Amino acid sequence: MEVFNTFSLLLIAALIFGCLLVKNSLSYWSRRGLDTPPYSLLFGHMKSAFTREIAFIDRMLKFYRYFKSMGLRHGGLYFVWSPVYMPLDLNIIKHITQIDFQHFHSRGLYSNEKNDPLSGNLFTLEGKKWKLLRHKLTPTFSSGKMKMMFPTMVECTKGLHKVIDKELGGPVDIKDILGRFTTDIIGSCAFGLDCNSLENPDSEFRKKGKSILHRKGLENFKQAMFFTLPNITKRFNVFVFPVKVTEFFMKIVKDTVTYREEHNVLRKDFMDLLIQLKNKGKLVDDDKWSSDLINEADNKITMNEIAAQVVVFFFAGFETSATTMSFCLYEVSKNKSIQDRIREEIRRVLQGHDGKLTYEALMEMSYLDQVVNETLRKYPPVPGLPRICNKDYKVPGTDLVLEKGVRVMISVAGIHHDPDYYADPEKFDPDRFSEDNKKNLTPNSFLPFGEGPRYCIGARFGLMQTKVGLVALLLNYELSINKKTQEPLQFDPEFVVASTKGGLWLDFKKISNMSIH
């Protein structure tokens, strides 16, 4: 009996201590004079991230609008019990992402290079490791390297046309087809392999990609933990990707590198550039593919680093570009005048290049660029930019001091839909990004790829494959909305990247047989 009473007292004391700890954690912002939206005692403001009740983009809009409605420059959130700072003021955001970057050089995401090699990628690494790897990889995404990979992208459009032609006369699930298209492009450019996803929707590459982006059950819970409590997941050696996915890609990367090295295979792709960095720490000059080395000799990377970069390039690139293309085609299907104007520009530019879609021709398509930018504004592929405060920081123009370890979340979706920066933000209006109107855009109000030193290194590649896909489809087909598309659109909380409930279904009508080559 005495033992039971002692145990009961200890349990009660532990519960009281736990409650006090939670109460203290969830009063962090009130003690600092910052407002917070209503929250859950167990999850803070992240309940919907664990339960998948609300999509990420909708959460970013919700929190931004809450603070904006109160006329605030910033506010406080809780990811479980961890304090998260959300700035709304664009000047503060500029300081965080650019001017005072040394205080916020990390994203605060899970990374465990030793036990989970694929997590040691450029997106998640921190501090000096990130800076060194960024320096090594930056030359692989130069305009010269993009031109080098451009013919591969154009070649993949042949398979895209075949699939669309088979679907003529019926509703087309455009997000699925474009996901297969970008899987084939990046599989070829990153791995040097023919993924064959367009012809075979059940290809291994496609299945592995979908398994990462559409998680349920335990995988869904793990994903939320990676973001909210990265240190705990690291302590328990939890893999960022399912084990079978990790094993699949590690094997493919090692087999590909080994085969190329043993047989002296050279391909003008991303994998070749990484193999050069692995063996020599240098890249071959664009114009002299076999000589004239640049960069320092101490830039060598390991096999695990190759695997991590190739895989994050694959996952970050294929879905975001497919999503952007899908939303773009949805919008131009609703507005035939915009669709016709793009098509006229494509035909005019191609005529000036002997009917060939070259890198230079793509760069001349200014209205297409406006349409893509407006799509990225209305449907940002990354709705929120995470950062973590690396050392105590006084927020400019305020009395608030962010302590080391406090997370920061910038609501890209909120900024992009703020009527103070974009009049009638729900309207799809590519002329916002015309040469004349771009001059009037509020600085730092367009953040589809981030800003500052952490700006997405693959943005140029992503934009290029997005535009190639759009040219291939808009050149030969007239598009309209199919009744299977559920309108108004609702974002599906089951997916990591913005995706709509019920999919995006379009009708295609063949209007030309022009091929791009």
Section 470-499 average pLDDT: 92
Query: What is the DSSP annotation of 15-31?
Result: HHHHHHHHHHHTTHHHH
Tokens at 357, concatenated: 């879609």
Determine phi and psi for 225, rounding to 5 degrees. -65, -40
For residue 486, the model assigns a pLDDT of: 94
pLDDT at 238 over 80: no
C-alpha distance from residue 130 to each of 138, 217, 225 (Å): 12, 32, 22
Q: How confident is the model at residue 291 (pLDDT cuts 50, 70, 90)?
A: very low
Spell out the domain ranges in the chain.
1-27, 32-510
Tokens at 325, concatenated: 């293309």
- Cα-only R_g, the chain: 24
For residue 42, the model assigns a pLDDT of: 72
pLDDT at 491 over 60: yes
* CATH tag, 32-510: 1.10.630.10
For residue 299, the model assigns a pLDDT of: 66
pTM of the shown model: 0.90
CA distance 63 to 94: 20
Q: How confident is the model at residue 318 (pLDDT cuts 50, 70, 90)?
A: confident
156 among the known binding-site residues?
Answer: no
Q: Which residue is associated with the tokens 């001349």? A: 364
Burial class (CB in 10 A: 0-12, 13-18, 19+), 81: buried
For residue 182, the model assigns a pLDDT of: 93
Section 170-187 average pLDDT: 92
More confident residue, 300 or 233: 300
For residue 16, the model assigns a pLDDT of: 56
Is the Cβ–Cβ distance between 104 and 389 less than 8 Å? yes
CA distance 98 to 75: 20
For residue 269, the model assigns a pLDDT of: 84
C-alpha distance from residue 82 to each of 21, 281, 385, 482, 506 (Å): 12, 40, 17, 44, 43
Section 414-436 average pLDDT: 97
Q: Which amino acid is at 334?
A: K
395-431 core/surface letters (b: 16 or more CB in 10 A; e: else): beeeebebeeebbbbbbbbbbbbbeebbeebeebbbe
CA distance 280 to 347: 44
Q: Over the stretch 7-57, which tens digit does the pLDDT of each residue have?
A: 555 556 555 545 545 555 678 998 999 999 988 777 777 776 667 788 889
CA atoms within 13 A on the CB side of 171: 12
CA-closest candidate to residue 507, choices 485, 489, 475, 486: 485
Is the Cβ–Cβ distance between 353 and 154 less than 8 Å? no
Q: How confident is the model at residue 109 (pLDDT cuts 50, 70, 90)?
A: confident
Is the Cβ–Cβ distance between 176 and 198 less than 8 Å? no
More confident residue, 171 or 214: 171
Q: Who's near 282: CB < 8 A, 6+ residues apart?
A: 276, 293, 294, 295, 296, 297, 299
Is the Cβ–Cβ distance between 346 and 364 less than 8 Å? no
Q: How confident is the model at residue 292 (pLDDT cuts 50, 70, 90)?
A: very low
Is the Cβ–Cβ distance between 372 and 463 less than 8 Å? yes
Q: Over the stretch 321-378, which tens digit does the pLDDT of each residue have?
A: 999 999 999 999 999 999 999 999 999 999 999 999 999 999 999 999 999 999 999 9
Is the Cβ–Cβ distance between 356 and 384 less than 8 Å? no
For residue 117, the model assigns a pLDDT of: 83
CA distance 407 to 107: 8
For residue 11, the model assigns a pLDDT of: 57
CA angle at 172 for the pair 171 and 178, rounded to the nearest 5°:
170
Q: Over the stretch 51-105, which tens digit does the pLDDT of each residue have?
A: 778 888 999 999 999 999 999 999 999 987 789 999 999 999 999 999 999 999 9
In this structure, of 176-180, 201-205, 211-215, 259-263, the range with the lowest mean pLDDT score is: 211-215
Is the Cβ–Cβ distance between 186 and 209 less than 8 Å? no
CA 136 to chain centre: 21
Most confident residue range from 215-229, 308-322, 443-457 = 443-457
Containing 453, the helix (H) or strand (E) segment is none
